[in-house]
Amino acid sequence: MDYALQQLLNALAFGAEYSLVALGLAVVFSIMGLVNFAHGEIIGVSAYSVFLAAALGLTSPFVAVLLAVGIAALAAVVFERVAFRPVRYAPTTTGLLTAFGVSIVVQNLFMLLISPKPQSVSILNGLNQMWFFGPFAVSSLQVMELIVSGLTILALVLFLNRSTLGLAIRAASRDFATVRLMGIKANRVIATAFAISGALAGIAAVFILARRGSVSPDLGFGLVLKAFVACVIGGFGSLPGAAVGGMLLGFIEVGLLVALPQEYAGFRDALTYAIIVALLVYRPEGLLGQRIELGDKEI
């Protein structure tokens, strides 16, 4: 029972983290058609800023969390302003290559300016404790991951459905030109989408730091690949799809971890992707994506 509960919590916590990062990718992709592979470096910038602040004498974990989220949102907006705005109207492949370029440049900056080796960050370790509920022992970090991700997604849903800027982001995902006809500034809509995407990455950075206790230049890259997969599962560009896809990926990974005997553990990733491929054969547009036939055009 204890074991089953532990694994369920594992799956939910991993799923929640993938969902947060996948949502960050999806919110930008949905309005700009840009797969922002530099999203992982936003997580990196956020984590290194906590590392630096701690090195400079910051001791409050609470301030560290605010810093991580704030810097991530800011970094995303700066990336957009500096790197993505100049290629906004270029073909999508240009945007994709730009994103890879930003990712490589920023990772190298981490190596040159700080160190290629992992650096220890202990300021957020306090978030990762064991909590005891009667006979059950659970990780406080995983419980928090679940609750915080849930609340974050709720806040995002409220923002997208209630505020004018949120409505504009949803509308822009289909028809950006007409959003501008409403007198809404394109730059504002895009900057807001990037800020949201960055804040989500910052929350993920807090969880990663608390779990690993260290930061390295490639911190976010692997996670963004996973989040990309989560987006594909859910249907690229669909926000609910990103959340559901992330959760599902968490469950598939942990499920295989539990189900596979130790000697087959090496096949875990292969099996994960086999399941995803099977899923996409069955639903090529992703779980919640819309099927678009060649030649369809929304007028």
Partner 1 sequence: MLKVEKLVVRYGAVTAVRELSLEVGQGELVALLGPNGAGKSSTINALTGLVTPASGRIVLDGKDISHVRTEDRIRAGLTSTPEGRHIFSNLSVGENLRLGAATRRDPAGVRQDIERFLALFPVLSERYGQAAGTLSGGEQQMLAIARSLMSRPKLLLLDEPSLGLAPKIVVRIFDFIGELKAQGLTLLVVEQNARQALRFADRVYVVSAGTLRYDGPPARFADEHDLFNLYIGG
Residue 191 engages partner 1 in binding (rule: CB under 8 A): no
Please tell me the distance from the alpha carbon of residue 89 to that of residue 108, in angstroms, as a whole number: 27
Q: Dihedral of the CA atoms 41, 63, 209, 147 (nearest 10)?
A: -100
Residue 180 engages partner 1 in binding (rule: CB under 8 A): yes
Binding characters for partner 1, 107-136, by CB under 8 A (x = yes): ------------------------------
Nearer to partner 1, 171 or 271 (CB): 171
Part in contact with partner 1 (CB under 8 A); list of ranges 37-45, 83-91, 96-104, 176-184: 176-184
Part in contact with partner 1 (CB under 8 A); list of ranges 31-39, 134-142, 183-191, 257-265: 183-191
Among 4, 130, 177, 278, the residue binding partner 1 under the rule CB under 8 A is 177
Count residues binding partner 1 (CB under 8 A).
20
Residue 258 engages partner 1 in binding (rule: CB under 8 A): no
Among 93, 164, 282, 296, the residue binding partner 1 under the rule CB under 8 A is 164
Among 56, 113, 181, 294, the residue binding partner 1 under the rule CB under 8 A is 181
Do 246 and 288 meet the contact criterion of CB atoms below 8 Å apart?
no
Residue 175 engages partner 1 in binding (rule: CB under 8 A): yes
Residue 59 engages partner 1 in binding (rule: CB under 8 A): no
Residue 276 engages partner 1 in binding (rule: CB under 8 A): no
Residue 293 engages partner 1 in binding (rule: CB under 8 A): no
Residue 182 engages partner 1 in binding (rule: CB under 8 A): yes
Residue 299 engages partner 1 in binding (rule: CB under 8 A): yes
Do 256 and 202 meet the contact criterion of CB atoms below 8 Å apart?
no
Residue 85 engages partner 1 in binding (rule: CB under 8 A): no
| Binding positions for partner 1, rule: CB under 8 A | 164, 167-168, 170-171, 173-175, 177-186, 298-299
